[in-house]
């Protein structure tokens, strides 16, 4: 097993097929990264929004105690 290309330029060009191969690679890597980061962001946002809601409930309870009695 050895490296198939002698220079960066050769790997980029791939004897004329470079534009096709690298387009496929770039788009795929972009989509795969997007799929991985999306739930991470949503996970944090969900926990935050639940925490904000809990704080709001607590404040409402503090200013208006009989509402929840």
Q: Which parts of this chain interact with another protein (CB under 8 A)?
A: 1-5, 11, 14-18, 20-21, 23-25, 27-28, 31-32, 34-36, 39-40, 42-44, 46-48, 50-55
**DSSP conformation letters of 11-66:** HHHGGGTHHHHHHHHHHHHHHHHHHHHHHHHHHHHHHHHHHHHHHHHHHHHHH-GG
Supply the minimum distance, in Å, between the C-beta of residue 33 and another protein: 10
For another protein, the closer CB: 55 or 60: 55
For another protein, the closer CB: 17 or 68: 17
């Amino acid at each position: 097993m050895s490296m198939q290309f002698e220079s960066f330029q050769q790997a980029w060009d791939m004897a004329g097929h470079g534009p096709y191969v690298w387009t496929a690679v770039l788009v795929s890597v972009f989509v795969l990264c997007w799929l991985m980061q999306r739930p991470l962001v949503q996970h944090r946002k969900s926990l935050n929004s639940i925490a904000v809601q809990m704080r709001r409930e607590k404040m409402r309870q503090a200013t208006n105690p009989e509402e929840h009695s």
